[in-house]
């Protein structure tokens, strides 16, 4: 069985919904269809909630626009014989949503569980519409089988229980049934309250279902032709990557490719279920295929990605008082506090240590290191750590990157020749990527340069 996920733009307009209908109805046999909220709706649901919480009366016109958008779509895509039933159902959901906003406006507060309930209406409504629109469609309610637990204040999927619940939910799926599932939304395992899997989480819903049911493939239908060798807004010559491995796709996502929600890859990777990235607006395009093995015809380097808003935290060590344990202590201290470190090399670990982190974590990282090394700093063994901001991390992603020192040097050399200073880099740190930390302003220029260097022969 296949699991297909359609994102917000795919279910956002009458035209795109017609394309979804055609794609789904061409599938022989049964399938699971996971849908996002209508494009842009989740943002709207949130901004309207914020207006209501400030008792700004404009929330009412926003609510009215949300209502009209849904009713208008129903009018145009739902078959005549189901129109009344679907209109009644969605109107009831819209009324419930409105009552939520009224409550928020009255109390002038927006507790997290209320906001979670409010944003859940996006997928609740889109799934009702899509289920009515496609032949043999049947709507399921994902909070019945996707459960979350609290983890350091965040909701994360409780995968074991979820796995069992999914298997049961789809045990009796009909031979031609198209099971339509709202993405993103879930339920707290203890309280039963509505939760969600985080922004962009519908992809993850698809992955959890595909993994639990041992699906033959997880198809992510979106509005681009697939993973690309670079961000096409910066690099016009960017190419579609026909095939990549799970690890490579994870690395590209970690470094800024916005094709899939990063947690999505893990559950299907674990079960070795291929992922296909396909375009609802160009359904005949081959897309990108993600599997566990490299193929003979694969590009050597799959893509160049850039992650913005990076900072470097570094400190100098008094060479006479060097201590090999400093590096490990710093890493431990940072990761103990949940800081994600972008691995860069420390060419002179006896003289200087540096760590690349997201800019949002930079002040905290500085404090953590200052506390960890307070005794050494006060004795003058090491200098107080320094912060360099406004940096970007460029990543070359591919296979065997650890052994591509000639390529790494060639890229570094070209950057320097253009006057782009490499603040730090990671030759040989990872099998899947080589990272260059550079001035954020230079990042588009560097991306173009590296892309043409690597992909000109294709
Ligand atoms: N509708 C949710 C969002 O916009 C989930 C998703 O589309 O994946 O974040
Ligand atoms: Mg998405």
Task: Find the distance separating the first CA and the last CA of the chain, reported in whole Å.
Answer: 35
pLDDT computed for residue 25 by the predictor = 97
Tokens 């000639």 belong to 406
The alpha carbon of 7 and the centre of ligand 2 are apart by a number of angstroms equal to 6
| Burial class of residue 343 (count of CB atoms within 10 Å of its CB; 0-12, 13-18, 19+) | middle
How many C-beta atoms surround the C-beta of residue 6 within 10 A?
30
Ligand 1 neighbour 39 (Cβ under 6 A) = no
Ligand 1 neighbour 37 (Cβ under 6 A) = yes
Angstrom CA distances, 42 to 88, 119, 124, stand at 22, 6, 12
Q: Is 436 helix (H, G, I), strand (E, B) or coil?
A: strand
Ligand 1 neighbour 254 (Cβ under 6 A) = no
Beta-bridge partners for 355: 313
pLDDT computed for residue 457 by the predictor = 58
The alpha carbon of 202 and the centre of ligand 2 are apart by a number of angstroms equal to 7
Give the H/E segment covering residue 266.
helix 265-271
Q: Output the CA angle 11-17-20, nearest 5 degrees.
A: 95
The alpha carbon of 237 and the centre of ligand 2 are apart by a number of angstroms equal to 24
The alpha carbon of 87 and the centre of ligand 1 are apart by a number of angstroms equal to 23
Please give the structure tokens belonging to residue 154: 């965040």
* Euclidean distance between CA atoms 203 and 40, whole angstroms: 16
**Ligand 1 atom nearest 43 alpha carbon:** 4
Closest Cα partner for 9 from 34, 36, 45? 36
pLDDT computed for residue 324 by the predictor = 84
* Euclidean distance between CA atoms 59 and 78, whole angstroms: 28
CA 206 to chain centre: 13
* Euclidean distance between CA atoms 158 and 66, whole angstroms: 32
pLDDT computed for residue 416 by the predictor = 94
Nearest CA to ligand 1 atom 8: 200
Ligand 1 neighbour 42 (Cβ under 6 A) = yes
pTM of the full predicted structure? 0.90
Closest Cα partner for 203 from 146, 142, 148, 259? 259
Nearest CA to ligand 1 atom 6: 200
**Which ligand neighbours the alpha carbon of 206 most closely?**
1
Tokens 């892309």 belong to 451
pLDDT computed for residue 87 by the predictor = 98
The size of the chain, in residues, is 458
Ligand 1 neighbour 143 (Cβ under 6 A) = no
What are the residues whose beta carbons fall under 8 Å from the beta carbon of 310, sequence distance 6 or more?
Answer: 342, 356, 357, 358, 359, 391, 392, 393, 437, 440
How many C-beta atoms surround the C-beta of residue 409 within 10 A?
11
The alpha carbon of 382 and the centre of ligand 2 are apart by a number of angstroms equal to 45
Ligand 1 neighbour 36 (Cβ under 6 A) = yes
Q: Spell out the per-residue pLDDT of the chain, length 458, in tens.
A: 999 999 999 999 999 999 999 999 999 999 999 999 999 999 999 999 999 999 999 999 999 999 999 999 999 999 999 999 999 999 999 999 999 999 999 999 999 999 999 999 999 999 999 999 999 999 999 999 999 999 888 899 999 999 999 999 999 999 999 999 999 999 999 999 999 999 999 999 999 999 999 999 999 999 999 999 999 989 999 999 999 999 999 999 888 888 999 899 999 999 999 999 999 999 999 999 999 999 988 888 999 999 999 999 999 999 888 888 899 999 999 999 999 998 888 778 888 999 999 999 999 999 999 999 999 999 999 999 999 999 999 999 999 898 898 999 999 999 999 999 999 888 777 889 999 999 999 999 999 999 999 987 55
What are the residues whose beta carbons fall under 8 Å from the beta carbon of 141, sequence distance 6 or more?
Answer: 124, 182
- The answer to whether residues 343 and 311 touch, using CB atoms and an 8 Å cutoff, is no
**417 backbone dihedrals φ, ψ, rounded to 5°:** -60, -30
Please give the structure tokens belonging to residue 311: 């900072």
Ligand 1 neighbour 247 (Cβ under 6 A) = no
């Amino acid at each position: 069985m296949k699991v297909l996920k359609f994102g917000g733009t795919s279910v956002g307009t009458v035209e795109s919904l017609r394309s979804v209908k055609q794609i789904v109805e061409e599938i022989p046999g049964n399938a699971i269809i996971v849908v996002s909220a209508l494009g842009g709706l989740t943002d709207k649901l949130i901004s309207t909630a914020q207006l209501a919480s400030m008792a700004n009366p404009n929330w009412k016109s926003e609510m009215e626009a949300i209502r009209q958008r849904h009713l208008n779509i129903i009018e145009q895509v739902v078959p005549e014989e189901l129109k009344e039933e679907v209109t009644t159902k969605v109107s009831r959901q819209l009324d419930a949503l409105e009552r939520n906003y009224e409550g928020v406006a009255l109390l002038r507060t927006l507790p997290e569980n209320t906001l979670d309930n409010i944003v859940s209406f996006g997928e609740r409504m889109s799934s009702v519409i899509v289920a009515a629109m496609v032949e043999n469609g049947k709507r399921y309610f994902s909070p019945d089988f996707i459960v979350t637990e609290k983890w350091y204040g965040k909701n994360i999927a409780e995968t074991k229980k979820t796995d069992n619940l999914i298997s049961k939910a789809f045990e009796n799926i009909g031979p031609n049934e198209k099971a339509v599932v709202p993405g993103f939304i879930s339920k707290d395992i203890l309280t039963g309250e509505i939760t969600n899997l985080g922004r962009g989480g519908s992809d993850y819903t698809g992955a959890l279902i595909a993994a639990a049911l041992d699906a033959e493939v997880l198809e992510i239908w979106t509005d681009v032709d697939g993973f690309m060798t670079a961000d096409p807004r910066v690099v016009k010559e960017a190419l579609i990557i026909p095939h990549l491995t799970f690890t490579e796709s994870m690395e590209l996502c970690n470094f800024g490719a916005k094709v899939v929600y990063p947690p999505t890859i893990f559950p299907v990777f674990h079960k070795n279920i291929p992922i296909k990235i396909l375009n609802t607006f160009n359904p005949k395009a081959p897309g990108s295929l993600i599997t566990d093995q490299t193929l003979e015809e694969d590009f050597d380097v799959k893509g160049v990605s850039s992650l913005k808003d990076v900072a470097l935290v570094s400190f100098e060590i008094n060479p006479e008082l060097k201590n090999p344990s400093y590096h490990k202590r710093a890493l431990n201290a940072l990761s103990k506090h949940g800081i994600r470190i972008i691995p860069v090399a420390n060419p002179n670990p006896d003289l200087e240590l540096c760590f690349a982190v997201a800019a949002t974590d930079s002040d905290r990282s500085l404090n953590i290191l200052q506390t960890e090394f307070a005794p050494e700093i006060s004795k003058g063994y090491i200098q107080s750590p320094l912060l360099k901001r406004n940096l970007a991390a460029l990543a070359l992603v591919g296979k065997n990157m650890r052994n591509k020192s000639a390529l790494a040097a060639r890229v570094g050399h070209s950057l320097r020749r253009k006057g782009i200073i490499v603040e730090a880099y990671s030759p040989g740190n990872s099998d899947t990527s080589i990272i260059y930390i550079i001035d954020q302003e230079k990042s588009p220029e560097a991306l173009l340069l590296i892309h043409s260097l690597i992909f000109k022969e294709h």
